[in-house]
Chains A and B, each alone.
Chain A
């Protein structure tokens, strides 16, 4: 059972993202605030830190591809960025302490980086024309607040599940 729980959580998070997307943009004080859920990539970063880098990258590629095909119809964007972020995470983690708080902060920084790269990309292809200031005010800050709340609430649960799976794998090598 526990073998399947890691991909199962990833699938649930993948489906939950657009459900949260339905409530956005929020109209606060006459201005729209975009809360962009990035649950899946944060979970994948945790997998690549605590479990296995290669496994995380396979999941990242797979879900990135699904994300591209289903939501944005630009194939190759997320299916490239997701594995890249997992790779960077597994690289950075060699130099830092693997404490939960440190990895939480690192995940959030990486998500902010992802948002910024996407902002650059969509500005480049001309789908959106917003200034950096507006981007930070309307998208980046609300997104980071929402995602950090999510990670603070569920980060330890991710770590717990991944550790349980690791323990099980150590006990019965196959």
Chain B
């Protein structure tokens, strides 16, 4: 191969490799924000991308509509059955909500971890090589999006904001393999049981809820929600349902597999939850595992 590896090319190739390694190690670092040229590129490309993806969403929307039109009869029958139940539930909820506000007024505590202000966004692109689970939204800092905010669909939580630019934001989905990705969660029941969503089982397609106190009893079928104690997420966003409970590797705490409530494929319209209560940097933020375990030791 005399042609391919002439001296000049070999040197160019080597310089290229060195440059590549340097750039990769620079960008793999846990960066807080995108640099200015990156932000400019992202915004410009993002604008073009939304021009291409909006018609796509429109077309898939038409197909979805036709699809649901075909199922109308079946669905109608099923929904009628649940309507009665729903009316009763609605009454209960209204009752409880008004009672809750009244009680809050009595104790003078008007802030609520559950309250959030939704920012509607459209998914303009999904990382096409799909090695990392990322999607890009058409809302950015100008619209009030900040790093680490919760992103959800109507079904439930799907991820959190990883990087923001003025006009776009990058969301890392819950199905990521990133070891530093965690969400503070709770199992709802008579008593709230807290744990952390850490990791995703690729084969089972389920999330892993770790660090549950082994004295507490949890069961298959219980619902998992965000706890709001991670500092940034609002409380009560549905995450999924428990499918299996085991003990963790060391046998000290319990571990549960959680089937996600939301679908991670075919995302189009999502909501970014901007918590009304003051936010602090906790487990939902980008803290390292070491720091967290130190915090736990201290408490």
Q: Which A residues form the contact surface with B (CB < 8 A)?
A: 11, 15-27, 32, 34, 36-37, 66, 68-77, 80, 91, 94, 118, 122, 125-130
User: What total of A-B pairs shows CB separation below 8 Å?
Assistant: 115
Q: B124: which A residues are within 8 A, CB to CB?
A: 18
Complex CA–CA separation, A20 to B19 (angstroms) = 31
Nearest to B267 among chain A residues (CB) is A22
Contact of A34 among B27, B48, B130 (CB under 8 A): B130
- Assuming A17-B128, A69-B38, A72-B127, is B265 touching A24 (CB within 8 A)? yes
A18 with B126: CB separation less than 8 A = yes
Nearest to B26 among chain A residues (CB) is A75
Q: What would 14 more interface pairs be, CB under 8 Å, given A73-B27, A75-B26, A80-B16?
A: A15-B48, A16-B52, A18-B53, A21-B126, A22-B125, A22-B267, A69-B38, A69-B45, A70-B42, A76-B20, A76-B21, A94-B3, A118-B129, A130-B202
Is B158's beta carbon under 8 Å from chain A? no
Interface stretch, picked from B101-109, B131-139, B213-221, B250-258, is B131-139
Q: B178: which A residues are within 8 A, CB to CB?
A: 127
Q: Which interface class (under 10, 10 to 19, 20 to 34, 35 or more) fits B?
A: 35 or more
A36 with B130: CB separation less than 8 A = yes
B131 with A18: CB separation less than 8 A = no
Q: Most B CB atoms within 10 A — which of A20, A22, A91?
A: A22
CB distance from B201 to the nearest CB of A (A): 11
26 contacts between A and B (CB under 8 A): A19-B52, A19-B53, A19-B56, A21-B126, A22-B266, A24-B130, A24-B265, A26-B265, A36-B130, A66-B45, A69-B45, A70-B41, A70-B49, A71-B127, A71-B129, A72-B127, A72-B131, A73-B170, A74-B24, A74-B27, A75-B27, A75-B38, A76-B24, A77-B20, A80-B19, A128-B177
Q: A72: which B residues are within 8 A, CB to CB?
A: 127, 129, 131-132, 134
Contact of B128 among A18, A26, A73, A122 (CB under 8 A): A18
B132 with A19: CB separation less than 8 A = no
Is B209's beta carbon under 8 Å from chain A? no
- Assuming A71-B134, A80-B16, A91-B3, is B205 touching A32 (CB within 8 A)? yes
Contact of A22 among B42, B126, B177 (CB under 8 A): B126
